[in-house]
Structure 1
Amino acid sequence: MLTDQIDWANPEGDQVRIDISKPLPLSGPPGHVTIQTQFFFNKGLDYLHYGSKGSGQDLSISKIKVARYHDFGLELLAPEHIWINDVCTYDISASYGISHWWFNRQKFYIDRHTAESSRKVVRTHMRILSVVRIKAYSRYGYDYLKEITLRRADHQEYTIAEKDFKNLYPSDFEDLNLLLLQGHLNHLPGSDIRMLSTAVKLWTRNLVIRQRVEDFQLGIESYQKLLNLTKPGWDATGFEFKHDYTIIDSPRAVVFPVSNNEQKIMRFNEIYKFSDGTLTNIMEALDYRVKEYKVNRLNPGMNTRFWTDKDVERSKEFIHAIERRLKTRRIFQNLECFVGGRVRDIDYRLLQRTE
């Protein structure tokens, strides 16, 4: 459990005492916020990498102080030593958040969740309205949900098992957590509610762990010692002649301006490495060009070339990919609230959703 005081050892070996009960000091000019490196105290990546036999979990989802920054170009402010050099791997029990379980229980849980499951049968965007009934059996101290009957938005019943969790959308777990939180499952026996709550929270924790290890920490997550990803390849050398916010075919990327009349590129496969502010800025600029620019005409900001149908199509693809990334982040921020630890304003409109 975290206390209001954290001792953190910096790379030089000095001890820095941090009072996390108070707002962390941030500096920088208006519109740009710089996080002092001594406040990157999250050891979650070390835990996921090496595992733990203790009962406590030092994960990013258990931090008290978290932050969300919407500043444009925030990733440009990150010092070079904060990015990792290699992609970090971690053991499967740590990714499930069950490293502190004894071996047979771990093996039973992991084997059940890695069992074959039909993706087409269970994967749908329809909202979950209710849980009708549950069938389960216990072994090694864990209650495995053999059958879960759900009622979705079309008012039809669908049957899944706990092994199908890996094929559901994150929004499905948001719906299940909301049903549990709002007390809409009181028609089920108390034992069934407890079993469902345990299974859903464990898998929600697994989703959050996997997402946060792969995601961009500065923009949407708590303070870290190191960013849990490699530095994006945003150098625009060789593409300086490109207009701002035009799409490059190879590599598949978009050119965007930063300070001092400098240009950077954001590759399509590296969208997840950029902060919310940068993604929102680029998405709005592309959206403006799609809606306001005329195809095969000289347009403001592009006085040396015509815009083609291909430009419009590629811009729409980038807009869709960025919207999907921002939506995913919003869902996982809410899921973190359900598994505990985040001090963050929950979107209470979600809690007021009715059937």
Structure 2
Amino acid sequence: MSVGLDDVVAAETALSHVDGEAGRLIIRGFDLEELAGRQSFEAVSSLLWRDLAAAGDAMAVRHALGAARVAAFPIAERLLPMSAGLSPVEALRLMLSGLSDASPIPGHVLVTAAMPVFVAAITRHRDGLAPVAPDAALGQAADFLRMLRGQAASPAEIHALDTYLVTVIDHGLNASTFTARVVASTRAGMVSSVIAGLCALKGPLHGGAPGPVLDMLDEIATPERIRPWLEQALDNGERLMGFGHRVYRVRDPRADVLKHVAATLRAGANRIQFADEVERAALAILAERKRSRPLQTNVEFYTALVLEALALPRETFTPVFAVGRVAGWAAHVLEQEAANRLIRPQSRYVGPLPKRAA
């Protein structure tokens, strides 16, 4: 038996492959490094949806997402008052429940387009600001930042966010993607499957690490405290946030992509250079102390730096991750529906047996 289903093959997919030993992420036949920073979120979404839902080319996807964002905006306006007291992820779950599988907009387009509209509206509402209507002519990353801020972002910021969305768009059968596929296998529909994926993402063991990376940097505070703080944390049996991964045994390729993105934002009022120093010290200490299992930088470390440099509030980091991952969830839902097989694993009973009468 494999606790946690480690090494159990639960599906065949043409969407992505995670090679933890080689530190490689393949998206539809391309290494991540060939796509992130070079192809838009719309282009990679089209790549994932190819042969599954007649996605068309990148420009067709861009137009479809733009129109669907406009269609989703009234739902955000209607449900915002009901989000009071909810966390950002809970508020996002509420708004997604306002979508209908009976919509004339294809389900994969609708959920992918609605996500940034809802996240931006929720974030502004928490600050006492009215939601900003979408601009269908813009790309997904540019419009999300505009809806969030109420004004256009710089080209460098748009490129940074677009690269981030591509970097996290799909990653094998992680917990949220597998959850979405299980629900899809029941024929529950696209919206229910994506909501299920978001619910799995809400758990801190899957989607909650970027924020604590910044908490760690807050506590370290100054360069002279870096090594003493890291050593004390390990002495106390604590994890160093942003290092190590369940699958990767070498460096997470997504970390390198986002480190490059962070470098492009270094000129701003941020602490990317300080984070570089923390990373170097942490890797050196981990190499000394964890010789039996190499622990490398993972995607969460530089996700935190990129999103902070884009002035996104920490509590929105998980919903913003969902803005990128939703295109992958949607692709997996379509693929699972095409397989037309209910996911029904077996369990091993370890409870008591009934006593037979003498």
Shorter-chain-normalised TM-score: which range? Answer: under 0.3
Greater share of strand residues, 1 or 2?
Answer: 1
Greater share of helix residues, 1 or 2?
Answer: 2
Q: Which of 1 and 2 has greater Rg?
A: 1
TM-score after normalising by structure 1: 0.28
TM-score after normalising by structure 2: 0.27
**Greater relative CO, 1 or 2 (CA 8 Å, sep 6+):** 2
